Chain A
Amino acid sequence: MRNDSSRTVVASSAAGWPRARVAKLTGLLALVVFVVAFPRMAADPFILSVGVIIMSYAVLATSWNFVGGFTGYISLGHASYSGLGGYATVLLILHTGVNPWLAMFLGGVIVALLAIPIGIASLRVRGASFVIVSIALVLILLLVFQSWGSFTGGSNGLRVPRPFGDEVLRPEQHERFFYLHAVLLAIAVLCWWLIDRSRFGTGLKAIREDEDKAQSLGVPTFAYKLVVFVISAFFTALGGGMYALWFGFLDPIFQFSILTGSYMVLMSLLGGIRNVFGPILGAVIVGYAMEFFKAQYGDTQIHLVALGVLLGIVVLFMPDGILPALRGLVIRFRPQATSIREVTQEELTRDATGSREESATDRGTGTKEEVSG
Chain B
Amino acid sequence: MTGSLLLQSLVLGVLLGGLYALLAAGLTLYFGVMRVVMIAHSAFLILAAYLAWYFSQQTGLDPLLSLVFTVPLFFGVGVVMQRLLISRLRPATLTMMSVLLTFSVALVIEGTLGFLFGGTHRRIQLPYAGTSFEIFGANIALVKLIAFGLAAIALAGLYVLLKFTPLGQALRATIQHPEAAQLVGINTDRVAGYGFGLGLATAAIGGTALALDSTIYPSLHWHWIGPLMAIIVVGGLGSIPGAAIAAMALGLGQSLLQIPLGTTWAQTFFYLALFATLMLHPQGFFGDRLAQRF
A residues lining the B interface (CB < 8 Å):
72-74, 76, 117, 120-122, 124-129, 131-133, 135-137, 139-140, 143-144, 146-147, 209-210, 258, 262, 265, 269, 300-312, 315-316, 319, 348, 351-352, 354-355, 360-364, 366-367, 369-371
Contact = CB atoms under 8 A, between A and B. Distances in A.
29 contacts: A72-B93, A117-B279, A121-B279, A127-B95, A129-B278, A131-B37, A131-B95, A133-B278, A135-B226, A136-B275, A139-B271, A143-B267, A301-B115, A303-B111, A307-B111, A308-B110, A312-B105, A316-B88, A316-B101, A348-B90, A351-B90, A351-B91, A361-B91, A361-B94, A366-B87, A366-B188, A366-B189, A369-B189, A370-B189
Q: Which 3 A-B pairs have the closest CB atoms?
A: A304-B111, A308-B107, A301-B114
A308 B267 contact: no
Given A121-B278, A133-B275, A363 B94 contact: yes
A315 B114 contact: no
Contacts of B268: 140, 143-144
A173 to B, nearest CB: 33
Contacts of A73: 96
Given A135-B39, A308-B106, A312-B104, 17 more contacts: A74-B96, A120-B279, A128-B99, A129-B233, A129-B294, A135-B226, A136-B226, A136-B270, A301-B113, A304-B114, A305-B111, A311-B101, A319-B90, A360-B179, A361-B178, A364-B91, A367-B89
Contacts of A370: 83, 87-88, 189
B97 interface: yes
A307 B96 contact: no
Contacts of A139: 222, 226, 271
A135 B229 contact: yes
Contact of A132 (B34, B37, B100): B37
Interface of B: 31, 34-35, 37, 39, 83, 85, 87-97, 99-101, 103-108, 110-115, 119, 178-179, 182, 188-189, 192, 218, 222, 225-226, 229-230, 232-233, 237, 264-265, 267-268, 270-271, 274-275, 278-279, 282-283, 291-294
Contacts of B265: 143, 147
A360 B178 CA distance: 10
Q: Which secondary structure dominates where chain A touches chain B? A: helix
A309 B96 contact: no
A136 B274 CA distance: 8
Contacts of A120: 279
B interface, over-half SS: helix
Nearest to A265: B100
B144 to A, nearest CB: 24
B99 A74 contact: yes
Contact of B293 (A126, A143, A364): A126
Nearest to B279: A121
B91 A133 contact: no
A72 to B, nearest CB: 6
Given A121-B275, A136-B274, A315-B104, A127 B230 contact: no
Contacts of B34: 363
B292 A125 contact: yes
Given A131-B37, A315-B97, A355 B91 contact: yes
A293 to B, nearest CB: 12
Contacts of A355: 91-92
Given A127-B95, A367-B90, A311 B107 contact: yes
B233 A311 contact: no
A143 B262 CA distance: 12
B233 A315 contact: no
Nearest to B101: A315
Contacts of A311: 100-101, 103-104, 107
A361 B104 CA distance: 25
Given A132-B229, A136-B229, A139-B222, A363 B91 contact: yes
Contacts of A126: 95, 293-294
